[in-house]
Structure formats: structure tokens, C-alpha cells
Amino acid sequence: MSRFKKNSEEKQRNGDRIDETKHQNSADRESNGGISRRDFFKSIGAGAAVAGMATSCTRTDPNEGLEDLEGTNLVMVIDLQRCTGCGGCDIACKSENNLREGHFWSHHITHTTGEFPNVRYEYLPTLCNHCENAPCEKACPTSALHKVNGGVTAHDPIKCIGCRACIINCPYGEVHAHFGEPHSEWKSEDELIEGVTGSPKSALEDTGGNGVPYYNPERENFGEGNRYHGIVEKCDFCLHRLKEKKLPACVKRCPTDARIFGDLNDPNSSVSRVLAKYRPFRRMEHLGTQPKVFYVRSFNSAADYPQTKGELAEMDAERIDDWKFSDIDYLEAEDPQTRNIAMLMNADRQGKIDHSKKAQEEQLFG
């Protein structure tokens, strides 16, 4: 049983509910740089105000609402052979977190080596690695970047002074600066095709979104719904969803179950079992940041498979026999390539590691 599950049960026994109140009281929130200045000017000149500031520095419990994650070590494993490079995770993340133009908390790196047919194309989905030894967190002078239960690197917008030391120190480019008004592009009245399409502004008016045509208010459940000028932002494994016992949006929306999320402290979790089975790699491991996003089964990796020369290699069922696939059956298909894939799936059907979303949710949330 995962620790998250155990904690949940204990809480329920104690008659507690998971606190679903917002991470910060909205009245405390500074919706843009201007208000913070006003607050500042209001506070100076009076000793009481200084005391108030001091109190506001310590009042927020960073783990508020995340009590059930205590003792867990949340990690993500990305199976590169399952990943089709569809970018669904990137889009899901953008809509889930109301990300502004140009910002991607979930992104990817692509790289092509060689010429067809001896070509190798790599697609590496990327996101904040929630490093155990996080340089961004160490560099932050105000603890705006901090660790919360589960080992997640979270960001508190209220504490952020916008020094950008975290951006400088993150080796992966996973912290993003906010300059100017977010989503201002949606205020444009320029029609995309004159007389044919509407303008961004009209789209916004039609949908009634909060700065963006689609606004997800659930994001307000942890931090800000829309980040504002001067601060930074980054992936937080969808803490607002974890509070509600939901998997991160990128995991939930991945059509091929390539993203596996769970507690590494639970030996029976899918992530623990997959990592025990397959040799993983992490980004820039030599830096000692101890990333918590692992990659397994490098696509077309010479270490795992013979040179493919543009065709599917002879499959080694041993390697994949306990790997879960969907239930499509093309074993009798005429096309040998399809049969090969079906063979993989079939082998997997006897699978021992169930890493379906349902299984992940079950393991983590009970």
C-alpha cells in the first residue's frame, strides 16, 4: 500500500477531510506587480505593517492540502518506445495550467541523426525534473521555490521577487520568466484572415475566458490561476490536481500511457517496478541534481536493439513480455510490420506490470 493511501486512510479515520481550500487565500494574493507595490507602500511607515509583513512571510504552510503526500517520493517515468511524439502532453499541460504564449511546462527535444534510411530520430518529452538536489531551490533567496510533500519542487508566487536566480541555476531551462501582462495577445483585434475569421479579442469575448479563451479555474487550487508580471513559473506535477487525487494532466492525457507517475517509496508501484526492470536514464545526470523524471527504453537505441536500417528489428519478446499494451489484436494481420506490433501487444497481455492510469491512480490514491 502506498504511503499516500495509508495517510489518506489515517486521515479518514481521524475524521479529517483533505483540505481543498485554496493554497493561498485569494485576498492575500497579489494579482499583479502594481498591487504588490501598493501593498508595500501601505506597509512602510508603520511598525505594525512591518510586523504584518513578517507574519505574512511565515503564515503559509507549503504543505497545506498536501498532507496525504507526506512520506511519498513522487517520480515520473517516460517510456520512450510508447511515446509517439504526438505532443498531447504539451497541449494538455498548456490548457490545464493556463500557460501563456511561448511557455511550456511540458515540452520536448527532438534530434535527428544521419540520413534516411540510416536515420535516427529522437523525441524526448521534457518537463521540470523535480530534482532531489534542486539547484533552483537552493538559489532562491526567499524560498519561493521550495520542496513540498512528495519531493515536488513547488513555486509560491507571493514570495517570488523575480530575481530569476532560479532560471540561471536550472540546468534544464525549466523555469520561465513572466514579463508583461499574461495572455495579452488575446486582446488583439487583428483578424487572422480579414473578413473570414474573428480576432483573438472576439474569441475571448465569445468564450468569456479569464484572459484566455479556455481558462481552467482548478489551477487556482494551488498557486495562481494565471501568473503575472515579474515572477517565474514552472511545472509542479499539477499539485492542484494531486490535492484532488488526480494524476498530473500530462499523465492523464497521454494517449499511449507513456507517462507513468507514482511513488518510488512504494516498492509495488508501477514506477518502482518499471525502474527495477529497465535501465533508466535522466537528463544531465553528471550534474548531480538527481532528477525525478526517468526515461526508459530509448527509442531505436543501439544499446537495446540491433541497427534497424529503417525497418522494424526482429523483436526480442524477452525484453517486452511484461510490458502493458492496449488490447488491439492484429496478430493475424497480413502486413508483417503490423503483425510484429501485434506480437508485442500480445506478449504484453500476459503482463505483470500494470501501469494503466487506473492502476496508477489506485496505487497512489487508493
Residues in contact with other proteins by CB under 8 A are 33, 36-37, 39-41, 43, 50, 53-54, 57-58, 109, 111, 122, 124, 135, 138-143, 159-165, 167-173, 175-180, 229-232, 284, 287-289
Give the other-Cβ count within 10 Å of 83's Cβ. Answer: 22
Nearest to 74 by CA among 242, 261, 253: 261
What's the closest the beta carbon of residue 150 comes to other proteins, in angstroms?
Answer: 20
Calpha distance 77→88 (Å, rounded): 16
The smaller minimum CB distance to other proteins, of residues 171 and 213, is found at 171
Q: Does 165 bind ligand SF4 (CB under 6 A)?
A: yes
Query: Helices 357-365 and 270-277, interaxial angle, to 10°?
Result: 120
Cell 500494470 found at: 354
**Long-range CB contacts (within 8 A, 24+) of 141-149:** 141/165, 144/231, 146/62, 148/62, 148/63, 148/66, 148/69, 148/239, 149/63, 149/66, 149/67, 149/68, 149/69, 149/70, 149/71, 149/72
Work out what residue 238 binds among other proteins, ligand SF4, none; the CB cut-off runs from 5 to 8 Å by kind. Answer: none
Work out what residue 322 binds among other proteins, ligand SF4, none; the CB cut-off runs from 5 to 8 Å by kind. Answer: none
Site for ligand SF4, residues 264 to 293, rule: CB under 6 A:
289
Bridge partners for 110 per DSSP: 123
Work out what residue 131 binds among other proteins, ligand SF4, none; the CB cut-off runs from 5 to 8 Å by kind. Answer: ligand SF4
Work out what residue 106 binds among other proteins, ligand SF4, none; the CB cut-off runs from 5 to 8 Å by kind. Answer: none
The smaller minimum CB distance to other proteins, of residues 160 and 347, is found at 160
Calpha distance 30→312 (Å, rounded): 55
Site for ligand SF4, residues 34 to 93, rule: CB under 6 A:
none
Q: Does 153 bind ligand SF4 (CB under 6 A)?
A: yes
Cell of 253: 492525457
Could you tell me how far CA 225 lies from the centroid of its own chain?
16
Bridge partners for 124 per DSSP: 109
What's the closest the beta carbon of residue 290 comes to other proteins, in angstroms?
Answer: 12
The smaller minimum CB distance to other proteins, of residues 261 and 295, is found at 295
Work out what residue 229 binds among other proteins, ligand SF4, none; the CB cut-off runs from 5 to 8 Å by kind. Answer: other proteins
What's the closest the beta carbon of residue 174 comes to ligand SF4, in angstroms?
Answer: 4
Q: In residues, how long is the chain?
A: 366
Q: Does 239 bind ligand SF4 (CB under 6 A)?
A: no
* Interface residue list for ligand SF4 (CB under 6 A): 128-131, 134-136, 139-142, 144-145, 153, 155, 160-166, 170, 172, 174-175, 232, 234, 289
